[in-house]
Structure 1
């Protein structure tokens, strides 16, 4: 896991929206899609719900922390 200090430092260095974009790119593939054997990754409604839930709290947390 990435330490909280690293995340806070990255927010100041990269900027709030740049960090969000990096998090989104890093998590979207793994969270929204599941490998289905030798087929292409399939969309998962359950993972989409977890993804939205996670990002809602991440956005609220960073928004409150920065503002």
Structure 2
């Protein structure tokens, strides 16, 4: 019974995550007099490659700073 309840909580989490994602996709911001989408491409909303690299432990390159 405990496993069923935990699975139910996981399903509820997925539902809430989907609702949050839907709200984020529909979010807009003012640009002049017009409302424009916050995320104009799917890649800006969900970066699969970056998440995969994090899971696989791929090191990110350290940015080199230019001395000014």
TM bucket (normalised to shorter chain) is 0.3 to 0.5
Larger relative CO (CA 8 A, sep 6+): 1 or 2? Answer: 1
Instruction: Give the TM-score normalised by structure 2.
Output: 0.33
User: Hey, which of these two has a bigger chunk of helix by percent?
Assistant: 1
Instruction: Give the TM-score normalised by structure 1.
Output: 0.33
